[in-house]
């Protein structure tokens, strides 16, 4: 809830303050030439518009508590920021040569939370777009697969696919590293679910 509220407050302030947005946004040119690496983090606390912040915070509201209950608040916050940085780092590497590239939003962190949470409850049913029931792990695999395709093809649709991919990969890597039994159980559960008989 603290992350949700902080995101919302900073975003709303930035909506009214273009200068603040310019100071916080992920900007390849400023990062490369002026070494303003703080933008890797600050860009995740501002959003492009009301729909952008609503969707990100809605995802955090529904998926965050599930993971936090599993691992505790301290570990949850650590994974959130690690995934945030993973998303920003992947974006930086993916767009390093594009000095005009700019991005904002918490999507990288939230993608990581989604990926990590799906390993703790791979077969739990979630409603994609609130209507389509799907196993949590399948939704995550499809989401990551789409991010890989879109990032590889440099899809310019206003969505930070590289951040989504980097955050999700970081989330999976951290669960495998810190909670290896959870990752093994998730694998076993999925194999059992798809194995006939």
Whether 8 is in a domain gets the answer: yes
Of 78, 88, 111, the C-alpha closest to 31 is 88
**Does the active-site annotation cover 95?**
no
Q: pLDDT, tens digit, for every residue of 126-159? A: 888 778 899 999 999 998 888 778 766 665 655 6
For residues 171-184, give the mean pLDDT. Answer: 96
CATH of the domain at 97: 1.20.1540.10
Provide the domain limits for residue 72: 2-191
Q: pLDDT, tens digit, for every residue of 19-73? A: 999 999 999 999 999 999 999 999 999 998 888 889 889 989 989 999 999 999 9
Whether 197 is in a domain gets the answer: no
Give the pLDDT band of residue 161 (cuts 50, 70, 90).
confident
pLDDT of residue 197: 66
Lowest-confidence region among 76-80, 95-99, 120-124, 183-187? 95-99
Residues listed for the chain: 197
Other C-beta atoms lying within 10 Å of the C-beta of residue 13: 13
- Beta strands 26-27 and 125-128, pairing class: unpaired
How many domains is the chain built from?
A: 1
Other C-beta atoms lying within 10 Å of the C-beta of residue 16: 8
Would you list the DSSP string of 51-72? HHHHHHHHHHHHHHHHHHHHH-
Q: 168 and 112 in contact (C-beta within 8 Å)?
A: yes
Q: 39 and 3 in contact (C-beta within 8 Å)?
A: no
Whether 148 is in a domain gets the answer: yes
Other C-beta atoms lying within 10 Å of the C-beta of residue 33: 10
For residues 183-187, give the mean pLDDT. Answer: 95
Whether 72 is in a domain gets the answer: yes
Of these residues, 88, 107, 147, 151, which one is catalytic?
A: 107
SS3 of residue 121 by DSSP: coil
> Quick check: 101 pLDDT over 80?
yes
> DSSP state, 114?
H
Whether 196 is in a domain gets the answer: no
**Does the active-site annotation cover 164?**
yes
């Amino acid at each position: 809830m603290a992350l949700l509220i902080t995101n919302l407050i900073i975003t709303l302030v930035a909506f009214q303050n273009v200068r603040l947005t310019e100071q916080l946004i992920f900007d390849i040119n400023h990062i490369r030439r002026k070494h303003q690496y703080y933008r890797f983090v600050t860009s995740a606390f501002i959003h492009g518009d009301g729909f952008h912040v609503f969707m990100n915070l809605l995802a955090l509201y529904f998926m965050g508590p599930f993971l936090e209950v599993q691992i505790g608040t301290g570990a949850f916050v650590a994974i959130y920021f690690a995934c945030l940085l993973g998303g920003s780092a992947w974006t930086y590497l993916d767009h390093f040569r594009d000095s005009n590239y700019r991005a904002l939003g918490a999507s990288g962190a939230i993608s990581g939370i989604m990926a990590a949470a799906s390993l703790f409850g791979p077969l739990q049913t979630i409603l994609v777009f609130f209507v389509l029931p799907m196993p949590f792990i399948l939704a995550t695999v499809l989401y990551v697969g789409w991010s890989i395709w879109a990032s590889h093809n440099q899809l310019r649709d206003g969505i930070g696919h590289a951040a989504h991919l980097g955050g999700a990969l970081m989330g999976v890597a951290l669960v495998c590293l810190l909670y290896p039994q959870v990752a093994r159980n998730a694998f076993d559960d999925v194999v059992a679910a798809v194995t006939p008989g």
